[in-house]
Amino acid sequence: MLAACLLVHVAAAQAPVASTAYQCPMHPDVVAKEPGKCPRCGMRLVASDPYDAREFIVEVTSVPAAPRAHANTRLRFTVREPSTRAVVRDFVEVHEKRYHLFVISRDLEYYDHVHPEQQADGTYAIDVTLPKPGFYTLYSDFLPLGGTPQVVPVSVATADFSGTLASARAHLTPDSVLTRTVGDLRVTLTLPSDGLVAGREEKLRYHVEDAATGTPIGDIEPYLAAFGHTLVLSEDALHYVHAHPVELLPDNRAAIGGPDLTFKAMLPKPGRYRVWTQLKRQGAVSTVSFTVSAASPAGLAGR
């Protein structure tokens, strides 16, 4: 284990049950009796039991056992069924991968979206290099065959970190300017006219231009079966939202998109959030981040 710095997320066990319906991997509330596509995101519905409330166990080990910043660390993830503790080997491919891993620093300044590979023993492994001493959260995002979508966080600290968890926490300030330049892209985020409101499905609208010329870009390429990926995390790192554009890929996935993309997301509580969005152009994936704030629904009455 990670030198006592790792917390394994364990949930109450429930007995497995048979699949009874078809469900969207990204929108678990979308359930149908027959195979088809999600009307909200276009993803293929998968066989599952929407009433299966099991939360699977994720165990993490590393080599070296106490990782250090700037050095290679091999992470290994073992997913276990909660009642039998058997190693789970069968996963549904979601956005072209069976296992999505988000590596995020506790201060929310570092973000990486990677994909561990399954090993012969059923575990998943990947090499990472943590960029600085500190606390990190590893978010495992996967769909066990016959289960429901899982997001399991595990915390780890580097051996060369001398601070505390409290000192490493994020202190976000909402951005006053919602335009960023990353690589050859200039990305502008537009929020709803009355701002973001917790508990309401919101539209995050992106406009993408060429950073050098200011020309709107219409050649955003598909990346992991979508025209973009957005992850939203609350300041306290307790609330996680993974979203994709409402602009769907055609069946042949040969099209290009842009310059405008819209992501739908529901922020669960009032407060500040960090938003990371990944876009692919000319073979390169760029990540742009913004800090936003969501108001309480009660505050709408005073507007």
Same domain, 156 and 208: no
Residue 5: pLDDT above 50? no
The last residue of one of the domains, among 129, 147, 168, is: 168
Same domain, 56 and 92: yes
The last residue of one of the domains, among 147, 168, 189, is: 168
Same domain, 146 and 64: yes
- Domain count within the chain: 2
Please check whether residue 234 lies inside any domain of the structure. Answer: yes
Beta bridge partners of 271: 294
User: What's the domain range around 164?
Assistant: 52-168
- Average pLDDT of the residues in 258-278: 97
Residue 125's closest CA among 67, 60, 57?
A: 60
Please check whether residue 163 lies inside any domain of the structure. Answer: yes
pLDDT digits (tens, 9 = 90+) for 163-184: 888 889 999 999 999 999 999 9
Looking at residue 50, its pLDDT comes to: 72
pLDDT digits (tens, 9 = 90+) for 126-144: 999 999 999 999 999 999 9
Please check whether residue 238 lies inside any domain of the structure. Answer: yes
- Average pLDDT of the residues in 31-52: 78
CATH number at residue 264: 2.60.40.1930
Please check whether residue 3 lies inside any domain of the structure. Answer: no
CATH number at residue 141: 2.60.40.10
Per-chain mean pLDDT for the chain: 89
Tokens 């040969």 belong to residue = 254
Same domain, 228 and 192: yes
Question: Count of alpha carbons within 13 Å of 262, Cβ hemisphere only?
Answer: 11
Structure tokens at 132: 């600085």
